Structure 1
């Protein structure tokens, strides 16, 4: 008697650690990244087509950043109070409405500057509430030893979508104009919001009534302040993101124009950075460094290289190579950072800790970009770029002096029970007595801003 043959294994079967929530979150993030990275370019061209120059483009960009910084901490507290998927869907709806209105204005005629600023401010507000909720939801969607692989795959998918979205957006702007690109972004937010509405939060324990929003913010701050490695790295990336933003957002295009032959070499360098982030995510799907934060922090040093390459300046090929390496390096940091947070931070505080991280990484960016011009006038462009490199090396070296940064290790199993339903990981035993219960880590917030 022959035994019944086993059912054929599906070639593209979903890995056991990629549960329903993880799959929905990844799919939704791909959709929004495809739309939003094209819309950022479209918004700038919409301003330019109305006769605006650098000042007007800068005002519209600032209108997005200011509410983002202002509402981040509130967004983190709200996301730890109410089901995170509701916050995400509501933020997506706000972004959908604001981008749709922006698209209608552009397609109907000449939008006024104040109208574009108001609508981008609404988009920034939605992002401020979305980011901490999304990061908390992602961190709670995986568990077990495969968490770092899950984060690497998520980042690889979203970075790939960002690269594709920027390229597609640029082509669409040239073919059909910025208004339609903004309309596509609005549709992408609608689709992503619909996907996120199906997220399952039954595995997350109901929040107990607290002492109010201010009390929640204080509790989140205590979570950050009580962990030296956590606030040290947040402060580190307050500086790193600011100087990288100034170097690559202000000086990079100017060096390309004056020294490298135009915008094309700079565009290729930025593309090389994007490719590097994808390669870094591929690497981190296989590599699990034992000392999480030590490996990640050492990979921040290469972020000083692009500023130095612009100061020299290197040839376009040399600059592209430097940007490729820095993209790989920052992705190593990003995955180790997320893995450390997932391993160490209590689930009910994910979003608040993430909000402090996002706040630290964005708060000084507008200041740094605003001061880039005066710094160039006072010290010269080359000196300012070397100063950017020196600051990154200095703050990263100082962070390595923190013992927890050097010593926090990757445990084979997290300290808490699995956070997701279904076959994501095997049951996790309680932490053995004597383990370093006080050591913890935060999420990838800063890295997302760089990548």
Structure 2
């Protein structure tokens, strides 16, 4: 987007900037509850970032293990996450969200400690590995909807965007650090010990969430209903907002393309023509740096039409796939990955903040669970189709196809009046929390 066009869609709210500024924004870190939530989330994501390398090499290092073994374990983790996501939203809307998050973190710790013990002792029957992986998947389904809902309970309304951005900064930094530290731990001590470290991080995150001590009465309990009625009510809140379900539909296709490009096609092209793992590591590093840089943008930008700006920021996601498909030099591809990282981070902050402002607090976790379920449901299809697409069209052709999917689904989303016209509310700085 050109700077002049950006000014047309966005503004830096002078009133907020005068009262807050960067110093005022960072002043949110003086709030005890936000600091606890930020610390817990950062440590939890660090544990999650350890897990992929630790689990992959730990499982593949087992006697007789094959790629199929790893696939079965990863599927056992992914499927329960999808199946229980809606239930996680209902639970988080019914119960105190900090307790739900705490339970999810401790359940995650239990799953990873179990995997670690099995790898360290050598007792690794497949049913036990699958069960432990499934526990971690269920824990993820419980934790994420509660996280979306708890942020407005901790952060003042006028600082929601800053709070989401700072949480994103902690998570992005943890992903970068975890990828490096997790690999080093696996090399030095083995996958079992790396999984034990992950479990310990989840346990620490659970303790920090327990220390939040949310005040009674901050979220009054509503009338109790059956789970099915809660799900129907959550669906009504979700489907009644055109901007919400349209963008989720967009992301079901966009995530499918990104999963194919990042999970299979990008690494395959790196192996074929770019020099192997080092080149793909450079790509991922460029993307990671972009997500961190995006935080600085997302803290300060205040779009009048946040969803319109967020959707427009999806167009640059196609850039690295175009560069990969056109055989661009590695430095250009890494630069494209940086742009992707910035775009995705700012999108995420604008999206979360808008949902938290527009959706009633008593339904927010259920709506978030529909959001996550819809956005992720076609991801496995992208992974399955990537290999056949590369064989049929060539790796570069398949990557260009991913770019086309991203652009077309984004342009289609812009046809929605709800996406184009939703305006952010005028807010005044809170004098107290």
TM-score normalised by length of structure 2: 0.90
Question: Are the equivalent residues in 2 in contact too, given 1:152–1:284 (CA < 8 A)?
Answer: yes
Please name the residue that 2:80 is paired with.
67
Judged with a 3 Å threshold, the aligned counterparts in structure 2 of structure 1 residues 140 and 197 are, in CA distance, closer, same or farther, namely same
Q: 1:252 aligns with which of 266, 278, 291?
A: 266
Q: 1:133 aligns with which of 138, 141, 146?
A: 146
Question: Are the equivalent residues in 2 in contact too, given 1:17–1:425 (CA < 8 A)?
Answer: no
RMSD: 2.0
Please name the residue that 1:124 is paired with.
137
Please name the residue that 1:365 is paired with.
379
Q: CA deviation at 1:299?
A: 0.5
Aligned 1:46-195 pairs, distance under 5 A:
46-50=58-62, 51-109=64-122, 111-195=124-208
Question: Are the equivalent residues in 2 in contact too, given 1:17–1:143 (CA < 8 A)?
Answer: no
Judged with a 3 Å threshold, the aligned counterparts in structure 2 of structure 1 residues 255 and 13 are, in CA distance, closer, same or farther, namely closer
Question: Are the equivalent residues in 1 in contact too, given 2:100–2:142 (CA < 8 A)?
Answer: yes
Q: CA deviation at 1:86?
A: 1.5
Q: CA deviation at 1:312?
A: 2.1
1:282 matched to 2:322? The reply is no
Please name the residue that 1:21 is paired with.
33
Judged with a 3 Å threshold, the aligned counterparts in structure 2 of structure 1 residues 247 and 99 are, in CA distance, closer, same or farther, namely same
Q: 1:404 aligns with which of 418, 423, 427?
A: 418
Gaps of 5+ in 1: 1-10, 415-423, 429-451
Please name the residue that 2:367 is paired with.
353
Aligned residues between the structures? 409
Structure 1 stretch displaced more, 308-317 or 283-292:
308-317
CA distance in 2, matches of 1:339, 1:167: 30
CA distance in 1, matches of 2:262, 2:50: 19
Larger helix proportion, structure 1 or 2? Answer: 2
CA distance in 2, matches of 1:13, 1:334: 18
CA distance in 2, matches of 1:278, 1:81: 34
Judged with a 3 Å threshold, the aligned counterparts in structure 2 of structure 1 residues 136 and 144 are, in CA distance, closer, same or farther, namely closer
Question: Are the equivalent residues in 2 in contact too, given 1:248–1:307 (CA < 8 A)?
Answer: no
1:232 matched to 2:231? The reply is no
Question: Are the equivalent residues in 2 in contact too, given 1:308–1:389 (CA < 8 A)?
Answer: yes
CA distance in 1, matches of 2:163, 2:135: 32
Q: CA deviation at 1:338?
A: 1.4
Aligned 1:315-354 pairs, distance under 5 A:
315-354=329-368
Provide, for residues 248-268 of structure 1, a one-character-per-residue CA deviation record: whole Å limited to 9, x for no partner: 101111111111111011011
Please name the residue that 1:32 is paired with.
44
Structure 1 stretch displaced more, 307-316 or 211-220:
307-316
Q: CA deviation at 1:203?
A: 5.0
Gaps of 5+ in 2: 1-22
Please name the residue that 2:314 is paired with.
300
Please name the residue that 2:54 is paired with.
42
SS of equivalent residue, structure 1 residue 285: helix
